[in-house]
């Protein structure tokens, strides 16, 4: 497995953001964003993992960086749950690595764009049982949320910032909104913010992320 890209701050580390890219991208995709955020988050390490390259069914079996296979797009996304679990296990290992480097779990944040965000939401609310600093869910959805899921007290205390484009034609705005509503109904402190954009990231959004992180890293 390709090693994550790690962006170290100039000052002693006391916080970490683990950021997963989207389908077909790579670990360098959000490096410019991490560099911008680190200008004000002076003690925060950014860890940017790389998804394995594998065949993606909806793309004609073409191989590309993918956290899990997508088998069909409608009526709802059909995915490889096994591959999603593998990616969630990888993410859990990265959390544990940061904890072993003496970063408190309450100062470890998970961020993910699109497919990477789906892995982040699954990991935070179905896999991980300890505290976290928070979750950044960018232009994403939650294919593994279900009515049967019950969140633990520690999971309910994980704050979430959900960000989505109003004109997203890849992951529809309504899919992101559904994940937001799901968490809100289960007592999670979750904030919804949308932007006049498609399936992308805007400078305004990056600024909002920086403010949200800074408030939780005082």
Q: Which residues are catalytic?
A: 114, 168, 199
DSSP readout, 26-78? -TTTTHHHHHHHHTT-TTEEEEE--PPEEEEGGGTTEEEE-SS-EEE-SSS-E
Cα pseudo-dihedral 77, 79, 85, 91, rounded to 10? -60
Please state, in angstroms and rounded to a whole number, the distance separating the CA atoms of residues 203 and 33.
9
Please state, in angstroms and rounded to a whole number, the distance separating the CA atoms of residues 113 and 145.
17
Give the orientation angle of helix 81-100 with respect to helix 115-122, to 10 degrees.
70
Please state, in angstroms and rounded to a whole number, the distance separating the CA atoms of residues 91 and 93.
5
DSSP one-letter code for 133: S
Q: What are 157's two structure tokens?
A: 């205390």
Q: What are 150's two structure tokens?
A: 């019950």
């Amino acid at each position: 497995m390709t090693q994550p890209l790690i962006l170290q701050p100039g000052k002693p580390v006391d916080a970490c953001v683990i950021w997963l890219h989207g389908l077909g991208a790579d670990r360098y995709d959000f490096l410019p964003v991490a560099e911008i955020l680190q200008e004000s988050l002076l003690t925060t390490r950014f860890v940017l993992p790389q998804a394995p390259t594998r065949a993606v069914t909806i793309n004609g079996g073409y191989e590309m960086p993918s956290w899990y296979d997508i088998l069909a797009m409608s009526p709802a996304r059909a995915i490889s749950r096994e591959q999603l679990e593998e990616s969630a296990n990888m993410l859990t290992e990265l959390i544990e690595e940061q904890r072993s480097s003496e970063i408190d779990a309450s100062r470890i944040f998970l961020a993910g764009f699109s497919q990477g965000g789906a892995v982040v939401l699954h990991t935070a609310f179905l896999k991980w049982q300890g505290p976290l600093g928070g979750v950044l869910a960018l232009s994403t959805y939650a294919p593994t949320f279900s009515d049967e899921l019950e969140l633990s007290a520690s999971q309910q205390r994980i704050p979430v910032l959900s960000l989505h484009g109003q004109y997203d034609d890849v992951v529809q705005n309504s899919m992101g909104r559904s994940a937001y509503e799901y968490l809100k109904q289960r007592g999670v402190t979750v904030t919804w913010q949308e932007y006049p954009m498609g399936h992308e990231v805007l400078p305004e959004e990056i600024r909002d992320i920086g403010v949200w992180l800074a408030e939780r890293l005082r």
